Amino acid sequence: MKKNTSHFRGCLLGGAIGDALGFIVEFMDIEEIKRTFGTEGINDLICDETSGKAVVSDDTQMTVFTADGLLWADYSGREGDTCSITDCVFYSYQRWFYTQTGRFADQEYDWLINNEGVDYKSELMKVEELMIRRGPGNTCLSALSKSVNKQYGTIDDPINNSKGCGGIMRSAPVGLYFHKSADKAFQMAAQCAAITHGHPSGYLSAGALACIISEIIDGKDINQAALHAASILKTYDQHEECLDILQRAITLSTKDVEPDDAVTSLGEGWVGEEALAIAVYCALKYEDDFEKAVRMAVNHSGDSDSTGAICGNILGAYHGLEGIPEKWIKNVELADLLSELADRLLVV
């Protein structure tokens, strides 16, 4: 059992570190990465001159809003309110949408700015680092801009046909929250991803990640956790694409294949199932070495910040803070906020 401060914080901080490392090279192909950083690629966080911190991207920003939405739902449940988990996460994503655009999809949501009329007082709208645009995903922006009158995307009534990795890259907190039930973690993360991503591979990949995090916190190793995610995946409609690539990633990690070639064979990670597969492959390949794994997860031609973030979530949950280089924990942006959210998810 890894239900403790170190592993909860490790999951969210590990994700932020992978995100920050990958954000620098998100739009570079591998040749450009090597030209810029040498043949090993980017291997250390680069701190911003003004803030002194390695900045995170939309992946971590949205992860923060997922965590806050879950905590809000938990609080509401205890207070006897009827706010469902997906409602609270949806409203939290509207807050994220506001930070990126200066507006909500619907004027009816204006109360979200200052918590008017709600007992759960979110502090996120006061956090400066969350107000900055860090490559927000178009699918998330567009889906949330359309969600008027609380009509957001669901699995049964998809808002679009997108399977971009914007659903999975923000899902780790769901696995922490539902650490007692991998099934529930899977189901709820898929539903929360479907708020913005309507293609099965867009939301099922999110379910799989939350399931893996939940299983790791429950004491399983990464391989067991990934196999369990695959077994739950099979029970959902239209799981074939996501299951196939997840199984390939698990198998590849046991083979004597050059890691660069293995990652390339899994795609570029712009879509959910590829991001899941690349992150799982890297986490399994370098299970005992957080640094090596996240470096592998970001040094490729694809969506480096998302694959880095997801790999960092998995290995951070697995090893806890002890497995993450101290200087990275010290240098990554939003570390205090992520630690606080992790601690609150731990005690609910």
The binding site for Mg(2+) consists of 57-59, 303, 305-306
* Segment near Mg ion (CB under 5 A); pick from 47-55, 108-116, 299-307, 315-323: 299-307
Residue with the closest Cβ to Mg ion?
A: 57
Report how far residue 330's alpha carbon sits from residue 79's, in angstroms, rounded to the nearest whole number: 36
Distance (Å, rounded) from C-alpha 13 to C-alpha 342? 9
Q: Closer to Mg ion by CB, 60 or 201: give it.
A: 60
Q: In the complex with Mg ion, which residue's Cβ is closer, 57 or 63?
A: 57
Minimum Å distance from CB 72 to Mg ion?
24
Residue among 58, 218, 241, 268 that touches Mg ion (CB under 5 A): 58
Does 268 interact with Mg ion (rule: CB under 5 A)? no
Burial 184-217 (b: 16+ CB within 10 A, else e): bbbbbbbbbbbbbbbbbbbbbbbbbbbbbbbbbb
Q: Is 60 in the site for Mg ion (CB under 5 A)?
A: no
Q: In angstroms, what CA-CA distances link 173 with 9, 19, 274, 279?
A: 10, 15, 20, 16
Q: Which is nearer to Mg ion, 253 or 307 (CB)?
A: 307
Looking at the Cβ atoms of 57 and 331, the one nearer to Mg ion is 57
Residue 97, SS3? helix
Backbone φ and ψ for 105, nearest 5 degrees, come out as -65, -25
Give the C-alpha distances (Å, rounded to integers) separating 280 from 34, 93, 182, 245, 332. 23, 26, 17, 10, 22
Part of the chain binding Mg ion (CB under 5 A), chosen from 102-110, 272-280, 298-306, 329-337: 298-306
Q: What's the min distance (Å) between Cβ of 215 and Mg ion?
A: 25
CA dist., res. 172 & res. 111, Å (int):
27
User: What is the closest distance, in whole angstroms, from the C-beta atom of residue 303 to Mg ion in the complex?
Assistant: 8
Contact between 167 and 203 (Cβ < 8 Å): yes
- Of 221-229, 235-243, 304-312, 321-329, which segment contacts Mg ion by CB under 5 A? 304-312
Q: Among 57, 61, 171, 299, which residue sits at the site for Mg ion (rule: CB under 5 A)?
A: 57
> Applying CB under 5 A, what is the total number of residues that bind Mg ion?
5
Binding site for Mg ion (CB under 5 A): 57-59, 135, 305
